[in-house]
Amino acid sequence: MRTAYTVDRIRAAEQALMAQLPPGTLMQRAAAGLATACADFLGGCYGAEVVVVAGTGDNGGDALYAGARLARRGARVSAIVLDQAKVHRGGVAALTTAGGWVLAPDEYATAIAGADLVLDGIVGIGGKPGLRPPADRVLDLVEEHAVPVVAVDVPSGIDVDTGETPARHVRAELTVTFGAHKIGLLVDPGATAAGLVHLVDIGLGPYLGEPDVEALQADDVAERLPEPSRASHKYSRGVVGVVAGSEQYTGAAVLAVGGAVAGPVGMVRYVGPPEPTRYVRARWPDVVCGEGRVQAWVVGSGLGDDPARADEVRRILASGLPVLVDADGLRHLPERCEGPVLLTPHEGELARLLGVEREAVTARRLHYARAAAARWNATVLLKGATTVVAAPDGRVRVNTVSVPWVATAGSGDVLSGVCGSLLAAGLDPLEAGSVGAYLHQTAGVLASRGGPITADDLARAVPAAYRMLLGGDE
Ligand SMILES: NC(=O)C1=CN([C@@H]2O[C@H](COP(=O)(O)OP(=O)(O)OC[C@H]3O[C@@H](n4cnc5c(N)ncnc54)[C@H](O)[C@@H]3O)[C@@H](O)[C@H]2O)[C@@H](O)CC1
Ligand SMILES: [K+]
The ipTM estimated for the assembled molecules is 0.97
- Report whether 174 contacts 41 (CB < 8 A): yes
Tell me, using a 6 A CB cutoff, whether residue 131 lines ligand 1: yes
Spatial distance between the Cα atoms of 77 and 67, rounded to a whole number of angstroms:
6
- Confidence at residue 474, expressed as pLDDT on a 0 to 100 scale: 62
Report how far ligand 1's centroid is from the alpha carbon of 125 (Å): 5
DSSP 389-438: EE-TTS-EEEE----GGG-STTHHHHHHHHHHHHHHTT--HHHHHHHHHH
Segment 393-405, tens digit of pLDDT: 999 999 988 899 9
- Residue 74 CA: distances (Å) to CA of 28, 114, 367: 19, 16, 45
Report how far ligand 1's centroid is from the alpha carbon of 126 (Å): 4
Q: How many helices (H) and strands (E) does the chain have?
A: 17, 19
- Confidence at residue 473, expressed as pLDDT on a 0 to 100 scale: 67
Ligand nearest to the CA of 62: 1
Q: Residue with the nearest Cα to atom 9 of ligand 1?
A: 59
- Torsion angle (degrees, nearest 10) of CA 427, 428, 431, 435: 40
Residue 219 assigned as binding residue:
no
Spatial distance between the Cα atoms of 410 and 414, rounded to a whole number of angstroms:
7
Residue 6 assigned as binding residue:
no
Among 5, 64, 80, 125, residue to substitute to test ligand 1 (most atoms within 8 Å of Cβ)? 125
* pTM greater than 0.90: yes
Given the CA of residue 56, which atom of ligand 1 is nearest to it? Answer: 37
- With H, G, I as helix, E, B as strand and everything else as coil, classify residue 169: coil
Residue 387 assigned as binding residue:
yes
Residue 124 assigned as binding residue:
yes
Among 7, 27, 52, 58, residue to substitute to test ligand 1 (most atoms within 8 Å of Cβ)? 58
Could you give the domains of the chain?
2-214 (3.40.50.10260), 218-469 (3.40.1190.20)
- Report whether 351 contacts 312 (CB < 8 A): no
Spatial distance between the Cα atoms of 433 and 439, rounded to a whole number of angstroms:
10
Spatial distance between the Cα atoms of 111 and 1, rounded to a whole number of angstroms:
40
DSSP state of 305: T
302: left (phi over 0), alpha (psi -120 to 50) or beta: left
- Report whether 163 contacts 184 (CB < 8 A): yes
Contacts of residue 341, Cβ cutoff 8 Å, sequence gap at least 6: 317, 322, 323, 324, 325, 376, 377, 378, 379, 429
Ligand nearest to the CA of 60: 1
Given the CA of residue 128, which atom of ligand 1 is nearest to it? Answer: 26
Residue stretches of the chain with pLDDT short of 70: 473-474
